[in-house]
Amino acid sequence: MKRRRRRRGPRIATKALEEALVKRAKKLRDDPDFLFPECQGHEDHFFKNKIKFERVSRFKDNEKKLAALTKWGDQLSRVFATSLQMALREEVPRLMSIDLGGKDVSIVYNKKARKEILVGVQYFDDPDLRLLAFGRIAKLKRLHLYSMRDGFVCTGKEDKPPSKYVAEVLAAAKCSLTKKGECHICVHCEKEGVPYLKITWITPKVEVMLCQSCAKNENTYINLTKRFLSFDPKTSFRVEVYPNFKCECEDGSALNEMTIPPREALARYLEGGMDDIEFIDEHMEHVSENVPASAGMILALGNKCYGDDTEAFLNALNPSKIERQALEYLLEDLDESIVVESATPNKILMMYWDIYGVDILESIVGDPDIAENVFEKGQWKKDTPAKVLKTAMSKAKKDQIESALPKYRDLPPVAAFADRIVRAYKAKGKKSALMEINKAQSSPDTKIKSVRYAFLLAFSAATGKEWQFSKEETDFGVFLKDYSEKLMEAEGDDYHDSLQELLKASGSTQKI
């Protein structure tokens, strides 16, 4: 049972296909004009073909003569004779299957005729397939042919698509466009900030504009031309991509003038090798990488162009204080445009780090050797520029503090202890200072202990630690607190004097 059913399936399909072919052949026999495009506003370009068809038609009931005619005369006449054979026999011989871009089409074969003409004639009521019969003729005679759902029009040498044609091919596209005069546009193209594709059908002045977000995985050029035949359809169109940056600068962005896609990308698009989205994206990439030097420095982020306004560009990036300092230095030195879709300050720095990194760091630490050193370390550790900048910043701060304080060798223990605490505090803050204080926790020296208590008080960190000290030590610590605070604030010579005073106040007569 099952086997039989399975075998019957394809046979029924074939039967229906055969019947349709015969029916179509009969229709063509009764009115051969159905095959031809309608010449509008000019002399009939297919007059001679129609005369030839009439001659063939005289033998529509003569099987022998028709068989001869399938091998003789021009291509269209031969194929017409094949159809008349079908109509006469009311059945078809073996079918041949042809693959047309992934679609299987079955035809009755005539080895004396070209396949595409067989397809075009045997499917003359199919708006896509019928064009196949006229490809050569359109090229040879330089005709413009437009095939529609019902209608097939020739406008001769003029490229003048019927408005019905344009409406039909655009309606088949997935994006919804609004018609404004001869323009078909999406609602976003008139606003700034979204790149859009613009296809101009030059002679009829038909424009199609659709933006990046409305574009689909389709190729609008292919859609527009899929039922259009001419010598070279490409020459009828101008295809551009408008970057359409929102201008924060005064005299309009030079980026927005970059509407002509590179030759290679355009060729690929026109061949159907890219869809609209890919084409727009590729063009925007091209724009960001190919700003002409003549345009000077142009800074653009996302859909906004800031011209050469570095301040506005930096604000848009929202950098940290140190990143801003680095970027300011970079932008002042940089002689090229930065056009990026989305970016963090770090990403921008990364783009130029290899070349400008050392200079940027030098501008922060103020010393070429240190800059080089920090840079190399960063490269080795694969740190991000943002991280390296932080390292450089804290190194710079530490160096600055060190250079603001006197340098000592062989300080008396009490002075050395106080000095270590204050240097740690100035370089890295309270936490580091408390670590220095704790290091001396086991020292039995009562002077050290008093100084330790004094600093704990100065940092408001003494609470709960009183038990570590004797009554004398805490009393003395309270007395020394002012000296320690003064030392924390001092710099240069003042620091030296304050340290000496603290030492003296702790009961030492030593000179430092």
Segment near Zn ion (CB under 5 A); pick from 209-217, 358-366, 409-417, 460-468: 209-217
Residue in 107, 186, 274, 299 binding Zn ion, rule: CB under 5 A: 186
Please identify, using beta-carbon distances, which residue of 53 and 455 lies nearer to Zn ion.
53
Rounded to whole angstroms, how far apart are CA atoms 512 and 503?
Answer: 9
Segment near Zn ion (CB under 5 A); pick from 214-222, 379-387, 431-439, 455-463: 214-222
Segment near Zn ion (CB under 5 A); pick from 40-48, 71-79, 265-273, 363-371: 40-48
Burial 6-26 (b: 16+ CB within 10 A, else e): eeeeeeeeeeeebeebbebbe
Please identify, using beta-carbon distances, which residue of 121 and 197 lies nearer to Zn ion.
197
CB of 366 to Zn ion, least distance (A): 52
Q: Within 13 A of 160's CA, how many CA atoms are on the CB side?
A: 10
SS3 169: helix
Residue in 24, 184, 188, 449 binding Zn ion, rule: CB under 5 A: 188
Residues 451 and 480 sit within 8 Å (Cβ to Cβ):
yes
- Only one residue has tokens 């890295």, namely 428
> Interface with Zn ion includes 358 (CB under 5 A)?
no
Please identify, using beta-carbon distances, which residue of 190 and 472 lies nearer to Zn ion.
190
CB of 194 to Zn ion, least distance (A): 6
Please identify, using beta-carbon distances, which residue of 154 and 255 lies nearer to Zn ion.
154
Please identify, using beta-carbon distances, which residue of 154 and 199 lies nearer to Zn ion.
154
> Interface with Zn ion includes 211 (CB under 5 A)?
yes
Q: Is 73 left (phi over 0), alpha (psi -120 to 50) or beta?
A: left
Residues 220 and 210 sit within 8 Å (Cβ to Cβ):
yes
The burial class, CB within 10 Å (0-12 / 13-18 / 19+), for 103 is exposed
CB of 296 to Zn ion, least distance (A): 31
CB of 174 to Zn ion, least distance (A): 13
Residue in 18, 28, 32, 45 binding Zn ion, rule: CB under 5 A: 45
Residues 6+ apart with CB under 8 A from 285: none
Residues 162 and 148 sit within 8 Å (Cβ to Cβ):
yes
Segment near Zn ion (CB under 5 A); pick from 37-45, 57-65, 239-247, 440-448: 37-45
Kindly report the backbone phi and psi dihedral angles of residue 379, in degrees, each rounded to the nearest multiple of 5, phi listed first: -65, -45
Q: Which long-range contacts (CB under 8 A, 24 or more apart) does 40-44 make?
A: 40/153, 40/154, 40/155, 41/155, 41/156, 42/155, 42/156
> Interface with Zn ion includes 156 (CB under 5 A)?
yes
Residue in 214, 326, 389, 505 binding Zn ion, rule: CB under 5 A: 214
User: Residue type for 302, please?
Assistant: G
> Interface with Zn ion includes 39 (CB under 5 A)?
yes
Segment near Zn ion (CB under 5 A); pick from 213-221, 237-245, 293-301, 452-460: 213-221
Of 127, 36, 21, 18, which is closest to residue 83 (Cα–Cα)? 21
Residue in 117, 154, 300, 454 binding Zn ion, rule: CB under 5 A: 154
Segment near Zn ion (CB under 5 A); pick from 14-22, 48-56, 152-160, 229-237: 152-160
Residues 502 and 484 sit within 8 Å (Cβ to Cβ):
yes
Looking at the chain, the number of H-run helices and the number of E-run strands are 20, 15
Please identify, using beta-carbon distances, which residue of 154 and 254 lies nearer to Zn ion.
154
| Count of residues that bind Zn ion according to CB under 5 A | 8
Please identify, using beta-carbon distances, which residue of 184 and 188 lies nearer to Zn ion.
188
Site string (249-278) toward Zn ion, x via CB under 5 A: ------------------------------
> Interface with Zn ion includes 209 (CB under 5 A)?
no
Segment near Zn ion (CB under 5 A); pick from 45-53, 252-260, 340-348, 376-384: 45-53
> Interface with Zn ion includes 364 (CB under 5 A)?
no
Please identify, using beta-carbon distances, which residue of 96 and 175 lies nearer to Zn ion.
175
SS3 138: helix
CB of 175 to Zn ion, least distance (A): 8
For residue 363, the surrounding DSSP H or E stretch is helix 345-365
Please, what's the largest Cα pairwise distance for the chain? 139
> Interface with Zn ion includes 339 (CB under 5 A)?
no
Separation of CA 149 from chain center = 37
Rounded to whole angstroms, how far apart are CA atoms 497 and 487?
Answer: 9
Q: Which stretches of the chain bind Zn ion, using CB under 5 A?
A: 39, 45, 154, 156, 186, 188, 211, 214
